[in-house]
Amino acid sequence: MTTVSGPGPFPGVEPLAAQQAVLDHLVDVPYGVDGLPFLVQLPQRGAGSDPVGRTACLLDELATELGPHGWKLADRPGADQRRAAVALRDDLTALSIAAHGYTGRLTVGVLGPWSLAAQLYLARGDRVLTDPGAVRDVAASLASGLAQHLAELRTQVPGLGDVVVQLDEPLLGQVAAGVLPTFSGYSRIPAVSGPELVEGLQPVLDAVHGAGASSTVHVGPAWVGVAPAVLAGAQGVGLDVGAWDERTWETVARAVERGLTFWAGLPRARVSQCAGPEVGTVADALTVPWKRVGLPLARLADVVVTTPAAPLATGVQAARDVLGTLVRVAEVVAERSDA
């Protein structure tokens, strides 16, 4: 069955209402579609609920705080880190209430080690990415903290089935290309080699698997991030797709042929005043190049249909509409997999 899920970020500031909305749309789905609810993230709450702060508060034995240019490592835990931890705890509490009695699967999104290192600063210096030793420390700390987070998640929702951890790596391509600016902005941070990218991802993925969870690495629109994710041991890869790009789809085909689950970040549906959301057009962004690159239609049943890792919409009702449309897109994809 074709699976449908979402990216995690959700509009609003009320975690219980947001989590209930997600479960409403992704638990009771049409025949042929498998819903995969997600733990909501509410960036509109402010600092600590943003992707960097939310992931940084998971770091084990590494303190963080807000600096002039964003989150940075700190000498000791402070109010910023506590605020982020409280927000995450509130989200888990909301999940435990909304998902009471739920025994299905759930996906949890966090920044991957490279995108975190690219946006987190040293206590007294440039980005963590500029210090290979600090990168290794952050990756190891994230691995340990993520394992603890998964244990707490299962405590909050005892009957939960498989948990899929989505490592969001939207900057992996830029890290590999060496285009990220230094703190001063006058130079670029040197490119990180492929073997180093794999080495940075491995401890986090190993911790996820060791905690009994599944894994996927979402690399945004940059196909160059797929190979390191595959070699590091990810069980799935996510990629934002749109217009036909031969190299992108050849990369997708190689990953699918190796047995990985493909998470397709599809463009948002255009809405016609007469016909409503153009779900067929959105489904085409996946199924047409899928056929063109020579992948069997039956394998579309293994795809996870989702959207790019950005807030679903600017309002809760609009976000509900996006989730509803995604379910309909997944239904179309599932029908085409039977063709």
pLDDT in tens, 203-246: 999 999 999 999 999 998 889 999 999 999 999 999 998 877 89
Does one domain contain both 34 and 87? no
Does one domain contain both 154 and 16? no
Does one domain contain both 220 and 262? no
Does one domain contain both 96 and 2? no
Walk across the sheet containing 236-240 and list its strands.
33-35, 2-4, 304-306, 261-265, 236-240, 214-218, 163-168, 106-111
pLDDT in tens, 125-176: 899 999 999 999 999 999 999 999 999 999 999 999 999 999 999 999 999 9
Does one domain contain both 210 and 325? no
* Percent of the chain whose predicted confidence (pLDDT) is above 90: 84
Give the global pTM.
Answer: 0.95
Token digits for 81?
A: 């880190």
Instruction: Answer yes or no: is pLDDT of 95 > 90.
Output: yes
CB 173 within 8 A of CB 219: yes
Does one domain contain both 200 and 56? yes
Does one domain contain both 177 and 199? yes
Phi-psi region of 313 (alpha: psi -120 to 50; beta: other; left: phi over 0): beta
Tell me the pLDDT band of 268, cut-offs 50, 70 and 90: confident
Domain of residue 192 covers 46-235
pLDDT of residue 273: 60
Tell me the pLDDT band of 275, cut-offs 50, 70 and 90: low
Does one domain contain both 252 and 180? no
Distance from C-alpha of 73 to C-alpha of 287, rounded to nearest angstrom: 44
Instruction: List for the chain the helix, strand, coil content (%; round to 5).
Output: 50, 15, 35
Does one domain contain both 75 and 203? yes
Q: What are phi and psi of 251, to 5 degrees?
A: -65, -45
Does one domain contain both 202 and 328? no
Beta strands 2-4 and 261-265, pairing class: unpaired
Does one domain contain both 34 and 114? no
Distance from C-alpha of 298 to C-alpha of 338, rounded to nearest angstrom: 6
Instruction: Answer yes or no: is pLDDT of 199 > 80.
Output: yes
pLDDT of residue 124: 87
Domain count, the chain: 2
Tell me the pLDDT band of 314, cut-offs 50, 70 and 90: confident
Does one domain contain both 116 and 154? yes
The domain boundary residue, chosen from 235, 269, 303: 235
